[in-house]
């Protein structure tokens, strides 16, 4: 019951934080002077294209861009009726992309699940690599195993993602036959899900998962190793050794459990960091994620598309943070609900 109350409290906190973030996102998006339509109107007037100016002016009125900024915000969120009534984020209307001349929902529809799929695969890769390497490095400290793992970790941190993508783009395809570009074979695009399509997606995931997850795995491995070494140097470890506890049981029962807290807490930062860090990788590898759409929207001041993508990244951050908080409460008995509620 206590855990359910705490989970509900964290969920309400997440919603409140998301509302504050929406205000910040909207303000930041509107900080540069002008917008897509006002810039387009200035260009059309300079070239004497009256019909184009009339269409742009109509769009400004249709999407309430001619109203005060505070009214634009409440209409965008869906808390205030606009020219089309209550039609905003709360009602599932993400706005119109002026750059692509399509609803934002159509542009990001497939890209959203592909983005989630790529980054979830990268997160699994990070944990599958960082956990064993971090534990082994700490348990075999100052041995060739530790030095080798450390070298691999520093190499992963020092290599830019886009450079690693370019290397695998060439050598992975040439020597390993890995498919490069896109998230599936073109023959499966627009087709219903099938075993062949699933297999094609999984094969295409190999390169982006490795590229996006390498730096995250390297950093997390180093943090886990440092935490493990700190725990292994504490007196209770020597006491457990003196009692005859086996090395494997000693590592899993006490030091690993205590060192795992920051490992779990990183979930909140890992997902959004990978989404933002995969923008260039998506461009290089031709992935149909939201990264290229965000880049195009920011360059052209396509405010509705850019704002939605930023809100999506913020939502991932808040969901990851909430999950990490709930897992920490379950993992570490030293964390009490009452300390947070009181």
For residue 126, the model assigns a pLDDT of: 84
Are 289 and 204 in contact, with CB atoms under 8 Å apart? Answer: no
Angle among Cα 208, 214, 217 to the nearest 5 degrees reads: 130
- Overall fold of domain 104-341: MetI-like fold (1.10.3720)
For residue 340, the model assigns a pLDDT of: 46
Are 83 and 64 in contact, with CB atoms under 8 Å apart? Answer: yes
Contacts of 267 (CB under 8 A, 6+ apart): 123, 320, 321, 323, 324, 327
Residue found by looking up tokens 């509302």 in the block: 19
Are 319 and 144 in contact, with CB atoms under 8 Å apart? Answer: no
At 275, list the tokens.
């989404």
Q: Which residues in 278-317 are b (16+ Cβ under 10 Å) and which e?
A: bbbbbbbbebbbbbbbbbbbbebbbbbbbbbbbbbbbebb
Rounded Cα distance, 182 and 15, in Å: 34
Are 210 and 125 in contact, with CB atoms under 8 Å apart? Answer: yes
Are 180 and 207 in contact, with CB atoms under 8 Å apart? Answer: yes
For residue 341, the model assigns a pLDDT of: 47
pLDDT in tens, the chain (342 residues): 677 888 888 899 999 999 999 999 999 888 877 777 777 777 777 776 767 777 777 878 888 888 888 888 998 998 888 888 888 888 888 888 888 888 888 888 777 777 778 878 888 888 888 888 888 888 788 788 888 887 877 777 777 776 777 777 777 777 777 776 667 777 777 677 778 877 887 888 888 888 877 877 888 888 888 888 887 787 877 777 777 777 777 777 677 777 777 677 777 667 666 666 666 677 667 777 777 777 777 777 888 888 888 888 888 888 888 888 888 777 765 665 554 444
Residue found by looking up tokens 């909140």 in the block: 268
For residue 172, the model assigns a pLDDT of: 74
Angle among Cα 21, 27, 32 to the nearest 5 degrees reads: 140
Residue-range domain boundaries for the chain: 2-103, 104-341
The half-sphere exposure of 330 on its side-chain side, counting CA atoms within 13 A, is: 10
Rg of the chain, C-alpha, whole Å: 25
For residue 274, the model assigns a pLDDT of: 66
Are 273 and 230 in contact, with CB atoms under 8 Å apart? Answer: no
Instruction: Look up the pTM and report it.
Output: 0.74
Per-residue 3-state assignment (H helix, E strand, C coil) for the chain: CHHHHHHHHHHHHHHHHHHHHHHHHHHHHCCCCCCHHHHHHHHHHHHCCHHHHHHHHHHHHHCCCCCCHHHHHHHHHCCCCECCECCCHHHCCCCEECCCCEEHHHHHHHHHHHHHHHHHHHHHHHHHHHHHHHHHHHHCCCCHHHHHHHHHHHHHHHCCHHHHHHHHHHHHHHHHCCCCCCCCCHHHCCCCCCHHHHHHHHHHHHHHHHHHHHHHHHHHHHHHHHHHHHHHCCHHHHHHHHCCCCHHHHHHHCHHHHHHHHHHHCHHHHHHHHHHHCHHHHHHHCCCCHHHHHHHHHHHCCHHHHHHHHHHHHHHHHHHHHHHHHHHHHHCCCCCHHHHHC
Ramachandran angles phi, psi of 254, nearest 5°: -120, -70
């Amino acid at each position: 019951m206590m855990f359910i109350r705490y989970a509900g409290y964290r969920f309400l906190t997440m919603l409140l934080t998301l509302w504050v973030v929406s205000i910040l996102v909207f303000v930041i998006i509107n900080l540069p002077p002008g917008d897509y339509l006002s810039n387009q109107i200035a260009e059309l007037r300079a070239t004497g294209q009256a019909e184009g100016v009339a269409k742009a002016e109509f769009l400004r009125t249709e999407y309430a861009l001619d109203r005060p900024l505070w009214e634009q915000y409440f209409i965008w969120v869906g808390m205030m009726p606009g020219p089309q009534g209550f039609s905003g984020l709360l009602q599932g209307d993400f706005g119109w992309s002026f750059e692509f001349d399509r609803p934002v929902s159509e542009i990001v529809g497939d890209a959203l699940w592909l983005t989630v799929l790529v980054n979830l695969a990268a997160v699994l890769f990070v944990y599958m690599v960082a956990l064993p390497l971090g534990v082994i490095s700490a348990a075999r400290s100052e041995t060739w195993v530790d030095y080798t793992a450390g070298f691999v970790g520093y190499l992963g941190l020092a290599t830019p993602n886009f450079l690693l993508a370019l290397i695998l783009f060439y050598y992975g395809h040439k020597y390993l036959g890995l498919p490069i570009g896109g998230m599936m074979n073109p023959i499966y695009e627009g087709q219903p899900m099938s075993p062949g399509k699933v297999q094609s997606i999984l094969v295409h995931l190999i390169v982006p998962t490795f590229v996006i997850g390498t730096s995250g795995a390297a950093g997390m491995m180093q943090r886990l190793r440092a935490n493990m070494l700190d725990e292994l140097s504490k007196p209770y470890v020597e006491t457990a050794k003196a009692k005859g506890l086996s090395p494997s049981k000693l590592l899993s029962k006490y030091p690993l459990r205590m060192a795992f807290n920051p490992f779990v807490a990183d979930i909140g930062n890992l997902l959004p960091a990978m989404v933002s860090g995969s923008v260039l990788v998506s461009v290089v590898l031709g992935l149909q994620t939201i990264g290229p759409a965000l880049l195009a929207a920011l360059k052209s001041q396509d405010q509705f598309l850019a704002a939605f993508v930023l809100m999506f990244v913020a939502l991932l951050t808040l969901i990851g943070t909430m999950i990490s908080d709930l897992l920490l409460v379950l993992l570490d008995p030293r964390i009490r609900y009452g300390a947070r509620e009181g």
